[in-house]
A and B are shown apart, each in its own frame.
Chain A
Amino acid sequence: MNQKHLDLAKQFNAFAFELVSKEETAKKNLESLENDILFRRVIFNKYYYALYHKYLANDDDLSKKTGSSKHEAIKQKIESCGDRKLLQVYSKLLNLRIWADYHTDNNPMALSIGLQEINSDVWSIIKRSSINC
C-alpha cells in the first residue's frame, strides 16, 4: 500500500466533500466559485483524482509509471477484475473529469449530476482497506 497515494486520495475526497457540503459558504467566500458550472468542474476533478490515487495506492507497478496512459490503464485493470461498482464509479468520474478539464461547453446537464450520490460512492471506495484488482 502506497501511503502517499492513499493520503492524496483522502485529501482530494475531503476537499470535494467539503465543497459539496458547504456549497453556499464556499460560493459566498470564494468569488471564483460562484459560477455553478465551474463549481461542478472543480468537484468532478477532485472526486476523480481521489479515486485515481486510491487505485494507485494499491498498485505499485502502475504507480511507478509516468505519463497520461495511467488513466486508461487503471480503467482496463478495473474492467478485468470484475468489480462492477468500482468500474461504474471510476468510469463515471473519468468521463465527468474529462468534460470538467477539457470541454469548454457549459452544458447545464452538469448541474443535474447528483453530488451527494457521487460523494457516497467515492467514500465507499476510499474507505475500503484495499482494491483487489
Chain B
Amino acid sequence: MSILQNMEYNKILSSLTIGATLASPMMADNINYELSRLSYKAPYDKSINYSSYKQSTFDDSLLKNDIEMIKLLELSNIINTIENRYDTKVIHTWIPAEGSLDKVCLFVSVQDQNDIKLKYEDFELDLFLTLEKDLKQSQLFNMIALM
C-alpha cells in the first residue's frame, strides 16, 4: 500500500472514529457495528491488489462504491456539525426514501428539540442553512429535516 493510500485510509478511519465518538449513543452503536462489519468486508491491505489503481483511493477504489462507508462518513459529519452548532445530541435519524431516490432527505431528532425550537424563528430551516454546503457536496443526502 502506498504512502498516499495509507494517508487516505487513516484519514477515513480517523473521521469515522471521531464521528462515532461524538455521535449519540444509538448512532455510535450503529456506526461501530457497521465499521466492524465493513472491516470484515474489506481486508484491503491483504487481498486487494492496488497496482492497477491510481494513487488516490478515492478515484477508483472499492471504497468509492461502498455506499455504506460513504453513508457512515456523511452521517458522522452531519451529526457532528449539528451537535457542535446547537450544543445538543442527535438522538434519532431516519432516511425514509433510502434506495428510492438518487439523493435523499435525512430526518433527525435532537435532544431538547422543543427548547431549541423556541430559540429560533425556524429551527428546521436554520438546520438546512447550516448544512447547506455539506448537503451540496454530499453524495447521498440533499436535504435535512426534523422529525
Contact = CB atoms under 8 A, between A and B. Distances in A.
Contacts of B147: 109, 112-114
Contacts of A81: none
A103 interface: yes
B108 to A, nearest CB: 10
B96 A114 contact: no
A98 B96 contact: yes
Interface of A is mostly: helix
A96 interface: yes
Interface string B99-131: 011001101010000000000001011001100
Interface in A77-114: 84-85, 87-88, 91-92, 94-96, 98-99, 102-103, 107, 109-110, 112-114
Contacts of B28: none
B94 A107 contact: yes
A98 B107 contact: no
Contacts of B122: 85
A114 B94 CA distance: 13
Contact of B109 (A92, A95, A102, A112): A112
A92 B105 contact: yes
B128 A98 contact: no
A61 interface: no
Contacts of A95: 96-97, 101, 104-105, 107, 143, 145
27 contacts: A84-B125, A84-B132, A85-B122, A87-B143, A88-B124, A91-B105, A92-B105, A92-B107, A94-B97, A95-B96, A95-B104, A96-B96, A96-B97, A98-B96, A98-B100, A98-B101, A103-B100, A107-B94, A109-B94, A110-B96, A112-B92, A112-B94, A112-B109, A113-B147, A114-B147, A117-B124, A117-B146
Interface of B: 92, 94, 96-97, 100-101, 104-105, 107, 109, 122, 124-125, 128-129, 132, 142-143, 145-147
